[in-house]
Structure 1
Amino acid sequence: MSTLISTQGLSVRHGGNTVLSNVQFSIARGEIVTVVGPNGSGKSTLIRALIGLETAATGKVSRASGLSVGYVPQKLHIDASLPLSVRRFLSLPKRVSDAQADEALERTGVPGLGPRPLARLSGGQFQRVLLARALLVNPDILILDEPTQGLDQPGTAAFYKLIEEVRSQTGAAVLMVSHDLHVVMSASDRVICLNGHVCCEGTPKVVAEAPEYRALFGIGTGGAFALYQHHHDHGHDDGSASQTCGHEGHTHV
């Protein structure tokens, strides 16, 4: 499979704070990869670096030539007084035809919402409209930064099912930041644990059994992160999961 985006030794600093350190990352066409980690671990910073919104202090980000990226941000605040319809929103920043807009809304399970004011959508509808907008660029890769934040459990499950359907229909790669552990483990081809650096990565089964993952997530947390209380590093001799989730003196934001 061809690599769409990769990083080599990527480090990002905010002022004097090292947010990401020596991150090696790649994602290939058609993969679903999920990034997990505690708050302040640099997940959103990594996403922003991959799409060119953060500058590398060291290392580099490589993107396939002509790469088309569909991006769904973690938060998008819409002024409730702004008279912006779903249809007009879908034509920002690049105008699309009515047929294209209708097809995107149909594909994401919210047909007929075009005339609706954006500010009057439910949380689930809004996330699906954001996804529809991302699909309008015919993406090679969809990048979603905690796309189900604020949704209830049925809404979250339905949204992830939709993501899998989109991958199946379009062949696009999917890179997600998520806190929904049970979904991560059922829906991802590969999981990356981040805590300022890559702690461990691999298939969901490999990562679920890694001491580093358990140190970050705890056991039986029901999808919530455990407090990070692991103060020593574990190494692996078998190559099943690499690196560690111990703190290395970095300050994370």
Structure 2
Amino acid sequence: MTALLNAQHLGLRFGDKTVLDDVQLTLQRGKIVTLIGPNGAGKTSLVRTILGLQKPTSGRIERAADLRIGYMPQKLQLEASLPLTAQRFLALGGAGAAQIAEASALTGIGHLADSPMQQLSGGEVQRVLLTRALAREPNLLVLDEPVQGVDINGQLALYQLINRIRHERGCGVLMVSHDLHLVMANTDEVLCLNQHVCCHGHPESVSNHPAYQELFGTRAAEMLAVYTHHHDHKHDLHGDVVCNHSHKD
């Protein structure tokens, strides 16, 4: 199959509760699909089903023979007294030293190798998690709220990095997000979920769809429709701008 993963008519029920209903999703190499939806929409359940951690009640998932998934969880909780450096945390993921070094260079965290995980900033922790997923040399990245706990500039920097990774490595990306206007410039397709697929397509078309406006309000749709961000700058690990830029909101 040419797609990395093709989910057809997925359904998931727990007792008499419907969690997913007739969900269809295709993930392609080199493409970013962003999954959005309100709390309780089934986003986490869909991700777990795609990862093979949850068996669907109905439907099926076709996976490419060479599929390799790198997963980045929404958050990391570590015991405060646990002596764990970033390098040791990465090594626990099972990847080799060469793969870790290559992934660390791509995400820009090499200088954090000896830093305790508990002392890293929110943006730094998220980049370490992304590095660990990349070290598995995946052709599909599954990123659950990758900017969790990161400030606005750091979020923009992470989305830019994810976009660059998919171009440099040619991998597909499934990304869960709640801020569509921030990921708009760095995604190819949006899938709006509320147990079923309410709407899907290019971010601009989704923002104008009645189902999106009903879920998130017309104000959110208006903000998304007028949002553009033209970058000629970069951000550091903390999300700070390191050269000039211009933007229009």
After TM superposition, is the score higher than 0.5? yes
Tell me which protein shows more helix as a share of its residues: 2
Are 2:50 and 2:61, in contact at CA under 8 Å, matched by a contact in 1? yes
**Separation of aligned partners in 2, 1:220 and 1:157:** 21
Residues 100/93 of structure 1: CA separation in 2 closer, same or farther (3 Å cut): closer
**Separation of aligned partners in 2, 1:222 and 1:198:** 18
**Separation of aligned partners in 2, 1:3 and 1:222:** 30
Secondary structure of 1:20's counterpart equals strand
Residues 19/63 of structure 1: CA separation in 2 closer, same or farther (3 Å cut): same
Residues 222/152 of structure 1: CA separation in 2 closer, same or farther (3 Å cut): farther
Name the % identity: 49
Matches within 5 A, 1:233-244: none
Indicate yes or no: 2:115 matched with 1:112: no
* Aligned-partner residue type, residue 208 of structure 1: S
Residues 19/107 of structure 1: CA separation in 2 closer, same or farther (3 Å cut): same
Residues 223/101 of structure 1: CA separation in 2 closer, same or farther (3 Å cut): farther
Residues 73/43 of structure 1: CA separation in 2 closer, same or farther (3 Å cut): same
**Separation of aligned partners in 2, 1:96 and 1:40:** 38
Specify the alignment match of 1:50 in structure 2: 50
Pairwise CA distance, 1:102: 2.8
Q: How many residue pairs align between the two structures?
A: 224
Residues 140/218 of structure 1: CA separation in 2 closer, same or farther (3 Å cut): same
* Aligned-partner residue type, residue 104 of structure 1: A
Secondary structure of 2:115's counterpart equals coil
The alignment yields a C-alpha RMSD, in angstroms, of 1.9
- Provide Cα deviations, 1:45-88, integer angstroms capped at 9, x if missing partner: 10110010111111111211131101101122111111111111
Are 2:212 and 2:221, in contact at CA under 8 Å, matched by a contact in 1? no
Secondary structure of 2:159's counterpart equals helix
Residues 196/223 of structure 1: CA separation in 2 closer, same or farther (3 Å cut): farther
Secondary structure of 2:175's counterpart equals strand
TM-score in terms of structure 1 length: 0.84
Residues 223/75 of structure 1: CA separation in 2 closer, same or farther (3 Å cut): farther
Specify the alignment match of 1:15 in structure 2: 15
Q: Which moved more, 1:188-197 or 1:56-65?
A: 56-65
Secondary structure of 1:167's counterpart equals helix
TM-score in terms of structure 2 length: 0.85
Q: Which moved more, 1:182-191 or 1:196-205?
A: 182-191
Pairwise CA distance, 1:90: 0.9
Are 1:105 and 1:113, in contact at CA under 8 Å, matched by a contact in 2? no
Pairwise CA distance, 1:111: 2.0
Are 1:9 and 1:59, in contact at CA under 8 Å, matched by a contact in 2? yes
Residues 93/101 of structure 1: CA separation in 2 closer, same or farther (3 Å cut): closer
Moved over 4 A (4+): none
Matches within 5 A, 1:57-96: 57-96=57-96
Gaps of 5+ in 1: 225-253
- Provide Cα deviations, 1:174-213, integer angstroms capped at 9, x if missing partner: 1101011212322211100000000111112221221111
Secondary structure of 1:25's counterpart equals strand
Pairwise CA distance, 1:30: 0.7
**Separation of aligned partners in 2, 1:120 and 1:103:** 23
